[in-house]
Structure 1
Amino acid sequence: MLLKNGYFSDCNIQDIPVHKILIEKRIGKTFDLIKKYLESNCKLNEIQDLLKWIYCDEMINFKRTNEILNHFGIQNAQKTKLLTNDLKQLLFDEQTSDFKLFVKNEEEDDEEEEEEELYIHKFVLAARSGLFLNIFQNLEENFQKVKDYSGKSLETIELIISFLYTDELPITADTDQEFIKEEFEDIVEYYQLNPKIPMMDIFEKYSKK
């Protein structure tokens, strides 16, 4: 399965492809430990319900999912362990990253252009961007870096990737909001962002702060 690098098995009846990085971040244990417990103690539908919480913050079987999470030391998960918070911690995290994006870093006083490495996670960008999904589908399996050809500034690329992880834009008083907004109008199309409209709504929300 594309971009999915782990499997849960339910008594060898069915394999469920998952993303190890996200599973480990959400549960806070190693993938092998999580896998061993689930395959030994949980039915297929219980594993699927747990994955619904891991990927979507939704609990279908509230009691059973909480029992599983309690086993791993997670209490009151719906309030203390939110998906958005876990994704924020993954943002530009070198330790858990499985891919690098090289972006031109152009300084006004520098004659030479330098490239900045941004540490990213394929499963996040592939889920939110049609362009990255296409890139990852066509890369060789062990290829772990790609260059950005959007022509946009490092600041803009960092903002857009932050949004893809968090649905928020880290805009401050020092951000040139008009410039960034113009950049976004192009980059939404270039990166084939999904979804488009909520992203612009988020921009309007944060640009007023």
Structure 2
Amino acid sequence: MDMKAVFIFVSLSDYCKVLMEDKNINALSEEIKLVEELKTSKFFNDVPFLIFFSKIDLFLQRINKFPLSNYFPEYQGKNYMDALEFIINKFLDDKTKTEKIKRYFIVNLLDNFQIETVLEKCANYLTTKNEKNQPKEEEKKDYLEEEQENDMNPLSEDYLNLFQRQEFCDFELKTKDSIINLHSLILKMRLKEEEIKKLEKISLNLQKKQVIPLINFIYSGEITFDLNGFNSILPILEKLDLDQKWILEKKFPNGFIEDLKKLFNDKENADFTIIANNSRFIIHKLVLCARSGLFRGMFLNVIDDSNQVSEYTGKSNKALDKLIQYFYLGKFDSKLNSKISQELNDSVDYYQLNPKCNLDFQKKN
């Protein structure tokens, strides 16, 4: 039998449970032991392992009530992010022995959008791995870069997905036949205050399908609409006292990134702080939700609605600073050294970033 991969599902919330058949054995410890046995089994030689860490929602609800250190005395972390990273590292490879774990994913099985994204990542990984005429490493990189150039960039894609998921919305745009839920932070970043007010008034006399092409452009900076969509946008732009030149000025990359740069520098209205190694990193929650599946899940599920992560030790300050910059701008202001580049590459799975981010991190070496 030609086995393509081994899928392993781990319940994060099991850290505070015991086995039904033996109340003296921690359930998560038993899962760790089982995975180690599977990794060394002769039946799975040369077969990659993909791990799915599920029940992140229950984990986040329980971690403050039932401290991880009660069940794993060696744990010395300070917050739920440290706890999550500690558990994940328990399953990852000791590289001196084997490298079986090729990818891992943190998932909420009730989140349909996230599951679709994860399954797509798995399919892409397995398809690439099992292609018979797979190009060499250098050729493969060129091919992937070319493929990315022909597709929507991860920055635009992530912000467009933010709109399509309809989460964390705080602004209602009423149309003749519907209500479009939006994010005031994005609107204020892309439009002037008077333009937003005019858009609210104009939309009342339009159908949702007439407004959506403009909304998609506001969120992504990408011209994704066809001729009909473009024709529906022009009358709206005219009533906003804008024209086709505005589209050229606001489109990706220059115009879109310029607006994001203003948001990046707007620390006064940022509403989340990461404290790491005596440094404070101030950021907008919405940016984290758009670009990181991990933070999105945390803000959806953490009950106390905390506005900061304290004493976080997951990344070096330099790598964290670069990562936050990348969340906003989709690029770096300087080249990355090999150490930071490796830290960022390791972040793709942990922070549940768009898989295309790997290429951006590698390009700057």
Quote the Cα distance in structure 1 between the aligned partners of 2:313 and 2:241: 43
* 1:22 to partner: Cα distance: 0.4
Aligned to 2:272: 100
In structure 2, how many angstroms separate the alpha carbons of the residues matched to 1:34 and 1:148? 44
Spell out the pairing of 1:185-200 with structure 2 (5 A cutoff). Answer: 185-193=345-353, 195-196=354-355, 198-200=356-358
- Structure 1 gaps, min length 5: 106-113
Cα RMSD for the two superposed structures: 2.6
Q: 1:18 to 1:100 in 2, by over 3 A?
A: same
Q: Which residue in 1 is equivalent to 2:200?
A: 36
Residue 140 (structure 1) shift: 4.3
Query: Contact 1:21 / 1:96 at 8 angstroms: preserved in 2?
Result: no
**Whole-Å separation in 1 of the counterparts to 2:241 and 2:319:** 39
CA distance in structure 2 between the partners assigned to 1:29 and 1:19 by the alignment: 14
> Which of 175, 178, 194 does residue 14 from structure 1 map onto?
178
TM-score (norm. length: structure 1): 0.77
* Pair 1:89 & 2:249 matched: no
1:74 is matched with which residue? Answer: 242
Q: CA deviation at 1:28?
A: 1.7
Contact map agreement 1:100 1:144 (CA 8 A) in 2: yes
Counterpart-to-counterpart distance in 2, 1:32 and 1:181:
40
Residues 73 and 96 (structure 1), Cα distance of their counterparts in 2 relative to 1, 3 Å cut: farther
The worse-fitting range, judged by mean Cα deviation, of 158-167 and 129-138 is: 158-167
- Using the TM superposition, give the Cα deviation of residue 94 of structure 1 relative to its aligned residue in structure 2, in angstroms: 1.8
2:358 alignment partner AA: M
SS in 1 for 2:364: helix
Q: Does 1:2 align with 2:167?
A: yes
- Preserved CA contact (<8 Å) 1:92 1:118: no
Contact 2:295 2:351 in 1 (8 A): yes
Deviation at 1:85, TM superposition (A): 2.5
Counterpart Cα distance in 1 of 2:309 and 2:261:
22
Larger displacement relative to structure 2 (35-44 or 47-56) = 35-44
What TM-score results when the alignment is normalised by the length of structure 2? Answer: 0.47
Identity of aligned residues (%): 24
- Is residue 24–residue 31 contact of structure 1 (8 Å, CA) maintained in 2? no
1:30 to partner: Cα distance: 5.4
Number of residue-to-residue matches in the alignment: 191
2:308 aligns with: 145
State the SS of the aligned residue for 2:204.
helix
Partners in 2 of 1:17 and 1:148 — Cα distance? 35
Specify whether residues 150 and 58 from structure 1 end up closer, same or farther in structure 2 by C-alpha distance, changes over 3 A only: farther
Q: Cα offset for 1:59?
A: 5.0
What letter matches 1:205 in structure 2?
A: K
CA deviation profile, 1:104-156 (whole Å, cap 9, x unmatched): 24xxxxxxxx2313122x33221221110111102348643333735212221
- Aligned to 1:116, the other structure's residue is in SS state strand
